[in-house]
Amino acid sequence: MAAASVIEARELSLTFETADGPVYALSKVNLTVHDGDFVSFIGPSGCGKTTLLRVIADLEQASEGHISVNGMKPDEARRKRAYGYVFQAPALYPWRTIERNVALPLEIMGFSAAERAERISRNLDLVNLTGFEKKFPWQLSGGMQQRVSIARALAVDPKLLLMDEPFGALDEIVRDKLNQQLLELWGRTKKTVVFVTHSIPEAVFLSTHIVVMSPRPGRIIDVIETKFPKDRTLDIRETPEFLKVAHRVREGLRQGHSYDD
Amino acid sequence: MTLAATRSRPSLAGAFAHGSTLPVTIIVLIVIVIWYLAAIPMNRVLSEPLIAAAGGGLGNTLSISWSLPRPVLPAPHQVLIELWNTVFIVAPWRPKSLLYHCWVTLSSTLLGFILGTILGVGLAIAIVHVKALSRSLMPWIIASQTIPILAIAPMVIVVLGSIGLTGLLPKSLISMYLCFFPVTIGMVKGLASPDPMQLDLMRTYNASTTQVLWKLRWPASLPFLFASLKVAIAIALVGAIVGELPTGAQAGIGARLLNGSYYGQTQQIWAALVAAAVMSSGLVWLIGFIERRVALAMGGRP
Amino acid sequence: MIAGLRRNPFAVIALIAVSAALLWLMAHQAAAKPGGIFWLGVLILWALIWIGNDALSGLATTSSVAVRLRNLAVPAIFGITLLLLWQLIAKGFGIPLVLLPAPSDIWARLITSLPTLKADFIQTFLRAVLPGWIIGSLAGFLVAILCDAWGFLKRGLLPLGNLFAALPIVGVAPIMVMWFGFDWQSKVAVVVIMTFFPMLVNAVTGLQAAGALERDLMRSYGASYLDTLLKLRLPAAMPFVFNALKINSTLALIGAIVAEFFGTPIVGMGFRISTEVGRLGLDMVWAEIAVAAIAGSAFYGVIALVERAVTFWHPSYRAQKGS
Ligand SMILES: Nc1ncnc2c1ncn2[C@@H]1O[C@H](COP(=O)(O)OP(=O)(O)OP(=O)(O)O)[C@@H](O)[C@H]1O
Ligand SMILES: [Mg+2]
């Protein structure tokens, strides 16, 4: 592996202290993400996928273990604005128009007005939302809103993109289309993407590495590397290689899932 | 509600079944009828000798009961006449004009309202950002709402008067004191209303506290701000009126009420009450109007 | 320093206790017109208490008893410090009694004037506030039920009720004094009018609060109007009713006191406040305000306790368990 490591987690654990006792959300997680990787986290609900992503983004602090992002502590990386984050829900500001929602991070990071306008139009075009600049979020469908939130994350052009089930609430067709667009974007811009999903086909189609997680306590039980061509299309989902990888992911999930509780 | 009633005006029966214009009109009419009827027995003490002198009879009873100079209960048209005389006949800058008194009360209401809003918003911003302040100050702010603050109005007026502060400012201070409570409470709620995901978003941008305040907390709190401003402006008006009582004030709605009750000028009291009611609903309507404009500019659903 | 304190509750408590005790001792010396060093000391002690309180409010605990104690202690310390500073400033700078009496003066006045205060309390609170609050709230509640049963009345009355709830209703006080005389009857009338509309508006809203699903359930049982009202809609309306009762408790006290400004027999809290203000007996005014504050808070507190017992099922109480 020649590429430098972007995320490096060693023996990472996180325990939430709640009123009803501790919740072990992450336990001894080891993970390396290299520059240019597309890594998916997959696992049953509540296994700690979001939590792991939040630790990387310094939205949550690990209780034990070590983690570095771009060779820095997560909070330094956050201060350096090293990543873009796409949440599970669009989280658009209802009082801002679409273009001003995309402008939000640019305003905060102090981009000039001209630069802002250029980046807004480029990124809205990227997610196929040109023409909706002056609309308010509620005038858009759920899928369009989620695309705005992706445009917003891309607007600052981060090297690292953290995405938490960005397409979870969308229908199959829109999802396929966005998957393909995301893949193209990743191929073109050579970004590093960490992606959380519930869908096995989505994970296999998009990723270079699939991280299979299991709950209680949340840990990594398998990391599967895929070797599909970078310019793959949705058709590869019918190929035997694809189905083989999907099968391995499914087996991993099944093992991690204890049905007796 | 009134909008819906005016837009769809299909039939009388439809209005009866759904709209509220007709029911409100009917209830108001019933109130007016009761009012006229009640004026007869309530004014009996004063009207009885006059009616007897005029020779009795229904016509005399009605006309005299409804036109006494200082009735216990003036008839609606008497109040209207008093309003007409004091609003339209007298020049508005003369102390005999009701408009003059309205202006006196309105100016201290508005000054107090602006001061109180600034204080309330400032306090809320401090409370939301300083945990120790929220833990130590919030319980007192909530507890002080249970205290009849208006009771200290006379004291404030006199104390400020004794150090040379008279006129507009002391009354405004009472209004300010009354209206900063609802603003603080509402704004603390509003500034804390953004959901965790939106706050996390700001955190991923490494936004400063001021940026989070101006770009997220402040716009998110505006619905709360306007809701509290409506309460605040109504209570600021009450504060200004009560603030005019203790000095035996020369001017203002409160002074009209007090003078009216000293000299038994019931029409004057009722006219002042109507003026206060119109001012209050006008001010609340104005805030609601601004709220709708702001909501529209901020992408609220029409 | 604060971060260190946060882990050591005993140090925090000791810091606050010692500083407060010193401030208390200094408050006794304040009458001697002290100099700059004294005030510097006061400032330092105040800062120390603030730092201690800040640390206390951020104290990391998991036990719910400790959390509850802390949530009581922090505002209490804040309030006591404020009282001590008030005392220090009023005495230390020799502020004249007519401007701002010191807490000790107010306390002395309160102790010596207990009979007067008691008579005022009976006249204003027991004779005017309580009956007026009960009659007004009850009337508002009954009319709300009528409105609920008869849609026409609701559509006619509710817009008017909303309008009136925002009007400066205290203004009717002079009229009521004219109609019902100087004694408590006119005050009751003012309180009744003031408390009627908030209850009407809130209770009507509350009666609509029961969910459509629950209502359909009652329908599927073939429940009568009365059954639905008693078993579903009144319980669902209770949070709103109690909200109105709380609002009304404050309004009632305000109404009774302000009505007394327009004429009373020579007893009552509002009367005492306005006459003592006229005679510049500010310590008595403050004593009266203290009584009003205690009565108002206790009144509110009792309603809140009853509310908690009646609407224990409401989410706003369940949510409080964790924090
Ligand atoms: N702030 C919190 N406080 C306490 N427990 C938490 C908190 N956040 C998450 N948890 C717990 O940690 C565990 C992991 O949660 P997480 O959100 O990471 O799951 P997830 O894998 O993203 O699930 P999903 O697929 O449903 O989004 C869960 O058991 C959850 O209950
Ligand atoms: Mg999740």
- DSSP string covering C20-45, please? HHHHHHHHHHGGG---HHHHHHHHHH
Ligand closest to the CA atom of residue A87:
2
Residue C4 pLDDT:
65
Residue C64 pLDDT:
74
Residue nearest to atom 14 of ligand 1 (CA): A48
Q: Is A53 exposed, middle or buried (0-12, 13-18, 19+ CB in 10 A)?
A: buried
Beta pairing class for A160-164 and A83-86 = parallel
- Asked which of A81-95, B277-291, C2-16, C33-47 is least confident by mean pLDDT, the reply is C2-16
Asked if residue B302 has pLDDT above 70, the reply is no
Q: What residues does A15 pair with on adjacent strands?
A: A24
CA of B120 to the centre of ligand 2 (A): 38
Q: What is the pLDDT of residues C180-205, one digit of tens each?
A: 888 888 999 999 999 998 899 889 88
How large a percentage of chain B has pLDDT more than 90?
23
Question: In the structure, what pLDDT confidence band is assigned to residue B167 with cuts at 50, 70 and 90?
Answer: confident
Residue nearest to atom 28 of ligand 1 (CA): A46
Neighbours of C227 (CB within 10 A): 12
Asked if residue B38 has pLDDT above 60, the reply is yes
Residue with tokens 């009979």: C115
Residue B249 pLDDT:
57
Asked if residue C319 has pLDDT above 60, the reply is no
Token pair belonging to B275 = 């003026």
Residue C177 pLDDT:
86
Residue C233 pLDDT:
83
A49 lines ligand 1 (CB under 6 A): yes
Q: What is the 3-state secondary structure (H, E, C) of chain B?
A: CHHHHHHCCCCHHHHHHCCCHHHHHHHHHHHHHHHHHHHHHHCHHHHHHHHHHHCCCHHHHHHHHCCCCCCCCCCHHHHHHHHHHHHHHCCCCCCCCHHHHHHHHHHHHHHHHHHHHHHHHHHHHHHHHCHHHHHHHHHHHHHHCCCCHHHHHHHHHHHHHHCCCCCHHHHHHHHHHHHHHHHHHHHHHHHCCCCHHHHHHHHHCCCCHHHHHHHHHHHHHHHHHHHHHHHHHHHHHHHHHHHCCCCCCCCCHHHHHHHHHHHCCHHHHHHHHHHHHHHHHHHHHHHHHHHHHHHHHCCCCC
Amino acid making up residue B137: L
B40 or B301, which is more confident = B40
**Average pLDDT of the segment spanning B174-200:** 88
Asked if residue B3 has pLDDT above 50, the reply is no
- Asked which of B58-62, B198-202, C81-85, C146-150 is least confident by mean pLDDT, the reply is B58-62
Sequence-ordered alpha helix ranges (H) in chain C: 2-6, 9-29, 36-57, 64-92, 103-112, 114-121, 130-149, 151-165, 173-180, 184-207, 212-220, 225-228, 234-260, 269-278, 282-310, 315-318
Asked if residue A1 has pLDDT above 70, the reply is no
Q: What is the pLDDT of residues A180-239, one digit of tens each?
A: 888 888 888 888 999 999 888 899 999 999 999 988 788 888 888 888 877 787 778 888
H/E element, A162 = strand A160-164
Asked if residue B8 has pLDDT above 50, the reply is no
Token pair belonging to B288 = 């609601």
Q: Of A159-163, B18-22, C15-19, which one has max mean pLDDT?
A: A159-163
Q: What is the pLDDT of residues C29-57, one digit of tens each?
A: 777 777 778 788 888 888 888 888 888 77
Q: What is the pLDDT of residues C133-170, one digit of tens each?
A: 999 999 999 999 998 888 788 888 888 887 787 778 88
Residue C122 per-residue DSSP state: I
Dist. CA A109–CA B207, nearest whole Å: 8
Task: Give me the residue from B204, B207, B222 closest to A57, CB to CB.
Answer: B204
Mean pLDDT, chain B, whole residue set: 83
Mutate which of A13, A23, A54 for ligand 1 pocket (most atoms within 8 A of beta carbon): A23
A64 or C66, which is more confident = A64
Asked if residue C220 has pLDDT above 90, the reply is no
Dist. CA A47–CA C311, nearest whole Å: 37
Token pair belonging to B154 = 């006379």
Residue B215 pLDDT:
92
A48 lines ligand 1 (CB under 6 A): yes
Q: In what order do the strands lie in the sheet with A64-69?
A: A21-34, A5-18, A64-69
Q: What is the pLDDT of residues B285-296, one digit of tens each?
A: 999 999 999 988
Mean pLDDT, chain C, whole residue set: 83
Q: What is the pLDDT of residues B63-115, one digit of tens each?
A: 888 888 888 888 888 888 888 888 877 777 777 788 888 998 999 999 999 99
- Asked which of B251-255, C24-28, C41-45, C318-322 is least confident by mean pLDDT, the reply is C318-322
Asked if residue C322 has pLDDT above 50, the reply is no
Mean pLDDT, chain A, whole residue set: 86
H/E element, A117 = helix A113-126
**Average pLDDT of the segment spanning A135-164:** 89
B196 touches chain A (CB under 8 A): no
**Cβ-based neighbours of A93, under 8 Å, separated by 6 or more:** A101, A104, A137, B198, B215, B216, B219
| ipTM entry | 0.81
Question: Is B27 close to C177, i.e. CB distance below 8 A?
Answer: no
C63 touches chain A (CB under 8 A): no
Question: In the structure, what pLDDT confidence band is assigned to residue C317 with cuts at 50, 70 and 90?
Answer: low
Rounded to the nearest angstrom, the minimum Cα separation between C156 and chain B is 4
Dist. CA C322–CA C62, nearest whole Å: 10
Question: Is C322 close to A19, i.e. CB distance below 8 A?
Answer: yes
Could you tell me which chain A residue has the CA closest to the CA of B211? A108
Asked if residue C207 has pLDDT above 90, the reply is no
Residue C41 pLDDT:
81
The alpha carbon of A210 is separated from its chain's Cα centroid by a whole number of angstroms, namely 12
Asked if residue A259 has pLDDT above 60, the reply is no
Helix axes C114-121, C282-310, angle to 10 degrees: 50
Q: What is the pLDDT of residues C89-139, one digit of tens each?
A: 888 887 887 778 888 888 998 899 899 999 999 988 999 999 999 999 999
Mutate which of A40, A49, A54, A164 for ligand 1 pocket (most atoms within 8 A of beta carbon): A49
Residue C321 pLDDT:
39
Asked if residue C323 has pLDDT above 70, the reply is no
Residue B18 pLDDT:
64
